[in-house]
Each structure stands twice: as structure tokens, then as C-alpha cells.
Amino acid sequence: MLSKKMLDELNVQIKHEFFSANYYLAMAAYCIDRGLDGFGNFFIIQAEEERFHAMKFFNYINSLNGRVTMTGYEEPRNDFKSLEEVFELALKHEVFVTKRIHTLADLAQAEKHHPTISFLQWFVDEQVEEEATMSTWLDKVKLVGDNGHGLLMIDQELAARTFTPPVA
């Protein structure tokens, strides 16, 4: 059984994960509009991952007979100055999500709620990867700058990204 506080925080996280999906779709749209469909694909796949994260929380709450409540989330930013800004914001957002996951983990620890501690460990590990992914591509985008050839090479690489639901 989940405490009310834990349940509320887990429900809030569903909202954050779906917001993340929309935010990344806004970034995808910006990239596609610039003719960079591979970058667009990268963020579309990222959005799929975020919906997968949201559904993990949804299913976890239900598995403990908790009540999921769906709430609205804010409109994501749709305008960006550059690809570099897109990746800077994506990394900043992942750092925010990591803090949220750690807050949830701290609460689960404080309540000694072992199922939730165990459940959240997947997300603690996942966030290390999420930050590393955004950081890596931000570095590459910075490196190529305005070099069209370099950007197209990265675009081709990102076009190959596919979504495979992780094994929980």
C-alpha cells in the first residue's frame, strides 16, 4: 500500500513524464522544420521513451491498488534559437527529471517502502543514461557548429535511432 504522499508524488511524476514527451515532440518539430529529419527522429524516439516511463508509473500505481489521477500539463516551449539551444534545454530538462526521481527515491527511503525503492532504482539508473545521451549529443552539436556537412553526418546517425522498450 502506498501512503497518500507517495501516491500523490508518483501521480505527479506521470504528468512530468508525459510533459517530457510533448516537450521532445516540440523539439522534433523544430528540427524537422529545419530539414533535419534525423534530429527530428531522435526526439520522436525520445518522446516514445518518455511515454514508456509515464506508463511504468501508471502501471506501478495500479499494481499496488493505488488510484491513478491524470492531470493536465503545461504547454511546452515550441520556439528555439538553434540546435545547440535545443540540446541545452533537453539536458537541463533531464537534470530536472533526475532531481524529481531522487526526491521520489528519498521519500520512499524515508517511508521504508521497499517496493517503491526497488521500482525507482530502474529510473535512477535510467536518468544516468538520459543525461549522458543529451550531454553527448550537445557536445557533438557544439563541435560541428554551423558546419553543414558535419550536421548532416549527425543527422544521418540520428535517423537510425529506434525505440525498443527496455526490459524492466
Q: Which residues bind ligand FEO (CB under 6 A)?
A: 17, 20, 50, 53, 94, 97, 130
Q: At what angle do helices 83-110 and 4-33 cross, to 10 degrees?
A: 170
Shortest CB 147 distance to ligand FEO, Å: 28
Write the CA distances from 166 to 21, 36, 50, 94, integer angstroms.
Answer: 17, 27, 12, 18
Residue placing its CB nearer to ligand FEO in the complex, 97 or 138: 97
Write out the three cell numbers for 121. Answer: 532504482
Residue placing its CB nearer to ligand FEO in the complex, 35 or 163: 163
Shortest CB 102 distance to ligand FEO, Å: 13
Shortest CB 21 distance to ligand FEO, Å: 8
Strand segments (E) across 11-107: none
Q: Classify 72 as helix, strand or coil.
A: coil
Chain centroid to Cα 61, Å, comes to 19
Q: Cα separation of 14 and 117, whole Å? A: 17
Residue placing its CB nearer to ligand FEO in the complex, 130 or 155: 130
Shortest CB 20 distance to ligand FEO, Å: 5
Residue placing its CB nearer to ligand FEO in the complex, 50 or 155: 50
